[in-house]
């Protein structure tokens, strides 16, 4: 079996770090070149083309993106649309001369319609209105899927679009305002604990249901499919396990050992009331997630304490 040379864009982020960790130990892979904004400006089409020409990979993993939680998505709408469009179009346009390169493109479950029936199947793509708080980010990811499909039809490229559920884990973006739900709750609740605050406020009612996947499980899925010839170009990747935001906050409270009261602000938006992916395709090809939520949260908090300065 020929071993594969892999180029990872966005290697310093949550998904990029997980892919690097898993693929660098894979028997399927000969070498991994990790690219970040320090060596390649993905907003520059010429710089993007140059790194692909230089490395000549068998597989490109596009994990580069501007990401954030509900506040960031809803207040930086122009940046989330334009920056992600530039990243995706520059990478996918740069590979036009190289139809032999397999492209694994990382998307997001926010591409699916707001009112899609749960669990959400891949076939629901482009069948309804998007959730409004993160529609610019979703539109950029939708454009990447359509561009990948166009590359396949016009030039014969093999582009696999992965739609992971809500990801979390080591190397996540932990901040007060711009994080996704798990790193945001960990950061802010740990801060409240250090300040001995009696009340911890959370946006929304706490009732929305969410599915979460530990980042290294996504890396494991990518390693699982990297040498496979699949008949799918859009695949959901999730855990199949739902939890309410309120229950999630209670778990994090217990892990952090925060003794204050949780307070939910119902005047703030909840986002999508429920979002559970249908993982039938991933299951049928032989994959299942390994890390349960309790273990993943503990690992994430341990990494946070060792790496994030408050």
Contact 281, 218 (CB under 8 A): no
Q: Please check whether residue 217 is in contact with residue 289, taking contact to mean a CB–CB distance below 8 angstroms.
A: yes
Using DSSP's 3-state secondary structure scheme, residue 117 falls into: coil
Spell out the SS3 assignment of 3-55. Answer: CEEEEEECCCCHHHHHHHHHHCCCCCEEEEEEECCCCCCCCCHHHHHHHHHHH
Which entry of 137, 168, 214, 258 is annotated as an active-site residue? 137
258 is catalytic: no
User: How, if at all, do strands 242-244 and 209-214 pair?
Assistant: antiparallel
Hey, is 287 helix, strand or coil? Answer: coil
For 187, which DSSP code? H
Active site residues: 137
């Amino acid at each position: 079996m020929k071993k594969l040379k892999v180029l990872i864009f966005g290697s310093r982020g949550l998904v990029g770090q997980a892919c690097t960790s898993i693929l660098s130990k894979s028997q399927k892979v000969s070498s991994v070149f990790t690219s970040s904004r320090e060596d390649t400006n993905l907003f520059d089409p010429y710089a993007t083309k140059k790194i692909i020409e230089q490395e000549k990979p068998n597989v490109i993993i596009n994990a580069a993106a501007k990401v954030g939680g509900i506040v960031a998505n809803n207040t930086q709408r122009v940046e989330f649309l334009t920056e992600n469009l530039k990243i995706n179009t520059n990478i996918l346009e740069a590979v036009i001369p190289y139809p032999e390169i397999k492209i694994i493109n990382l998307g997001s479950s926010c591409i699916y319609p707001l009112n899609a029936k749960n669990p959400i199947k891949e076939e629901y793509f482009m069948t309804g209105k998007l959730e409004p708080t993160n529609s610019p980010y979703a539109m950029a990811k939708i454009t990447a899927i359509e561009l990948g499909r166009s590359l396949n039809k016009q030039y014969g490229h093999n582009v696999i679009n992965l739609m992971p559920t809500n990801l979390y884990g080591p190397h996540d973006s932990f901040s007060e305002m711009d994080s996704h739900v798990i790193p945001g709750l960990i950061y802010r609740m740990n801060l409240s604990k250090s300040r001995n605050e009696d009340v911890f406020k959370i946006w929304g009612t706490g009732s929305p249901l969410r599915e979460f996947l530990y980042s290294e499980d996504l890396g494991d899925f990518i390693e699982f499919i990297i040498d496979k010839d699949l008949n799918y170009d859009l695949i959901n990747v999730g855990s199949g396990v739902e939890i309410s935001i309120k229950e999630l906050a209670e778990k994090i409270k217990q892990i952090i050992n925060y003794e204050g009261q949780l307070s939910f602000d119902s005047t703030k938006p909840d986002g999508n009331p429920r979002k559970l992916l249908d993982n039938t395709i991933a299951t049928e090809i032989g994959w299942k997630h390994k890390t349960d939520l309790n273990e993943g949260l503990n690992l994430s908090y341990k990494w946070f304490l060792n790496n994030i300065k408050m």
